[in-house]
Amino acid sequence: MTDDNANHHDAASPAQPAAAAANSPAGSPAEHPAQAGDGFTAQAARDISEVPAVEIIGAAAVHLMSAAAVKCGLAEEDTPEQAAAHIDLDEARKLIHALAGLVTAAATEVGDHHARPLRDGLRSLQLAFREASSHPDAPGKGPGEKFTGPVA
């Protein structure tokens, strides 16, 4: 390891974030560890190049679904009190709307076999959102219904 690399890693360590900011110009590798030249970006690019688009789309949809479910109070491991503490319908609305856009846009690209479970999960979240809301949206005005049509 050269002195430059040793200094780079020391400056970027979590214990010295101020030193990293003070000793490196804006946009430098110390500010963006993924660009540090350690091969991470090249390896990540090789890894992602091997993943089919349908899997990346599916993974993104699952992340959106999972987050929206928690924000709607549907986390399985939570007690009812814990689930209620996680409810944030404003955030859930954004996540469901983004999910609906992704699912709608990707449906023709990923095929019915992959799109069907995504649409089913989306519909379940839209219904859960409507149930969790103290003032349900008018039909066609709920999260994602711009893309999916009314869900009742």
Two structure tokens written together for 44: 């990540």
- Tell me the CA distances in angstroms from 108 to 46, 56, 104, 146, one per residue in order: 27, 15, 8, 18
Smallest CA-to-CA distance from 57 within 131, 13, 119 is with: 119
Assess if residue 68 is contained within a domain: yes
Q: Give domain status of residue 19, yes or no.
A: no
pLDDT surpasses 80 at 36: no
Domain contains 3: no
Which pLDDT belongs to residue 79?
A: 82
Amino acid found at 13? S
Q: How far is CA 101 from CA 96, 116, 134, 144, 147, in A?
A: 9, 15, 25, 7, 6
Whole-prediction pTM? 0.70
Q: Let me know: does 99 contact 142? Beta carbons within 8 Å.
A: no
Q: Tell whether 117 is covered by a domain.
A: yes
Per the domain annotation, does 46 fall within a domain? Answer: no
Helices (H), the chain: 3-12, 17-23, 40-49, 53-71, 80-86, 89-110, 112-132, 145-148
pLDDT in tens, 38-56: 567 888 887 888 999 999 9
* 20 inside domain: no
Question: How many structural domains are present in the chain?
Answer: 1
Sign of CA dihedral 38, 39, 42, 43: negative
Q: Would 27 be classed as within a structural domain?
A: no
Residue at 133 is within a domain: yes
- Look up the domain containing 101 and give its range: 52-148
Tens digit of pLDDT for each residue in 83-102?
Answer: 888 899 999 999 999 999 99
